[in-house]
Amino acid sequence: MTAPDSKVPTVTPDQAPPEAEIKRFDPTQATPARRYNALLGGKDNFAADRVAASGIRNAFPDAHIAAAENRRFVLRMVRHLAHDHGVRQFLDLGCGLPARVDVHDVAQEVHPDARIVYVDNDPLVAVHARALMQGGPQGRTEFLVGDLCEPDSILAHPALRATFDPGEPVAVLVMAVLHFIPDTAQPHIAIHTLLEGLPAASYLAISHGTAELLPTAIRDQLRVVAKDAAQGTLVSRTREQVAAFADGLDLIGPGVTPIVDWLPDLDPQPTSTPEQAPCYGLLARTSAEAVSSACPAAQRVRACAFPTAMSKVGRSPAIAPAVDKSHPVP
């Protein structure tokens, strides 16, 4: 399987990262974005990232296939949201390094006036994204340094406020990110805080790695890899645990299913099995009703980007039935 080509960055002085970001940069510590780039065969990574990627592939030889399938899932989801749901605003959390085709390429192909805000906490991503993630003249593309676990800072960021229209829904993309965040960091609260701070009828799209779809032997080997401090945090969650991120939202489509079974007829089509790409995907939507400012959830989002158009959280959705079939590689 060929990997998406990385773009070659040309960084101008105004695109260079602030001094604080440069000080945080540590090439000796693997990061999810650079390790992902290494798995895809990219060049925007360092020795520590390649060693970490190699450790994962030793335990799970199809890791590079899973990474490529996740990328396909992202692009299919964006096309589905833009074309079938009319979404023109996308918030890509943990966007990672630029690829040959990015979120803005697909969104603005459908809607030339689409607006995209990319977010990542990796200083190298910041440099490359500011140089390369540039959209068409009718739309708008911005990048901001941020952390999913600090949602108020993201919502209050001037770039987000200047880019998004508070009268239109936003699709929040959290792709291959949450399995790097333990429950102790309260990612569920972070996700819902973000959604409460965005316009009503916004969307949440997630892909999340899981060991449930893997043979026992590979699952055991990955547990060993996950204990390696050089890998950072790796969290496998069950179908029910992944579904919990959409608690209170309305699930759309097939529910929580393997990413290769999500929109398989859209381009770029999946070419692998759930065992080769053991990730769950989901799409959910918030209520079309606004939350009263007296609501405790709304009060928690004091840094809300759109204080008059926050979404309402309702009841928990159902989980899709388990998918037993597999799709052989063509």
pLDDT digits (tens, 9 = 90+) for 191-218: 999 999 999 999 999 999 999 999 999 9
Residue 59 included in any domain: no
* Confidence at residue 25, expressed as pLDDT on a 0 to 100 scale: 79
C-alpha atoms less than 13 angstroms from C-alpha of 251 in its C-beta half-sphere = 21
Confidence of residue 228 (pLDDT cuts 50, 70, 90): confident
What's CA 89's distance to the chain center, in Å? 15
Closest CA to 309 of 173, 150, 188, 169: 169
pLDDT of 320: 37
Residue 154 lies in a domain: yes
Question: Within a domain: residue 252?
Answer: yes
Q: Give the count of alpha carbons within 13 A of 107, CB side only.
A: 32
Q: Looking at the domain assignment, is residue 27 inside a domain? A: no
Q: How many domains does the chain have?
A: 1
* Domain contains 179: yes
pLDDT value of residue 18: 52
Q: Please tell me the distance from the alpha carbon of residue 150 to that of residue 1, in angstroms, as a whole number.
A: 36
Residue 321: inside a domain: no
pLDDT value of position 227: 84
How does residue 21 score in pLDDT terms, banded at 50, 70 and 90? low
Task: Please state, rounded to an integer, the average pLDDT across all residues of the chain.
Answer: 84
| Residue 88 pLDDT greater than 90, yes or no | yes
Closest CA to 180 of 75, 93, 116: 93
Q: What is the pLDDT of residue 229?
A: 66
Q: Do residues 25 and 124 lie in contact, with contact meaning Cβ atoms separated by under 8 Å?
A: yes
β-strand partners of 206: 174, 282
Distance CA 195, CA 188 (A): 11
Q: What is the pLDDT of residue 93?
A: 98
Q: Looking at the domain assignment, is residue 128 inside a domain?
A: yes
Q: In angstroms, how far is CA 166 from the centroid of its own chain?
A: 22
Please give the pLDDT value at position 40.
Answer: 93
Question: Which CATH number fits the domain that encloses residue 156?
Answer: 3.40.50.150
At 114-164, the pLDDT tens digits run 999 999 999 999 999 998 999 999 999 999 999 999 999 999 999 999 999
Q: What pLDDT is stored for residue 226 in this prediction? A: 86
Range of the domain at 278: 66-211+234-300
Q: Tell me the C-alpha distance between 244 and 204, whole Å.
A: 12
Q: Report the Cα 48 to chain-centroid distance in Å.
A: 23
Q: Distance between CA atoms of 148 and 98, rounded to whole angstroms?
A: 19
- Min mean pLDDT across 9-13, 93-97, 175-179, 323-327 is at 323-327
Whether 328 is covered by a domain: the verdict is no
Name every residue whose Cβ is closer than 8 Å to that of residue 134 and which is 6 or more positions away in sequence. 104, 141
